[in-house]
Amino acid sequence: IDYQDLWQRSLVSAVTVSNDHGHAEQVLQCVEREAANILGGTLAGTTVEWIE
């Protein structure tokens, strides 16, 4: 969703909506693991934000 003008950097977002905080957390942890598996050492970091 950001850095479209750069060749070596990108920002990707994932969103989940749930009435169960625990389930939402599991889903986002799965997304983080999958990103780490795909990107390996090129993954610079992850951030989770909660809006309630």
Tell me the average pLDDT across 24-34: 96
Q: How far is CA 10 from the centre of its chain?
A: 12
Higher per-residue pLDDT: 28 or 12: 28
DSSP 1-52: -B-TT-SS--B-------S-HHHHHHHHHHHHHHHHHHHGGG----------
Tell me the C-alpha distance between 39 and 52, whole Å.
30
Structural Rg of the chain based on CA atoms: 13
pLDDT band at 41 (very low <50, low <70, confident <90, very high): confident
pLDDT at 3: 59
What confidence score (pLDDT) does residue 6 get? Answer: 65
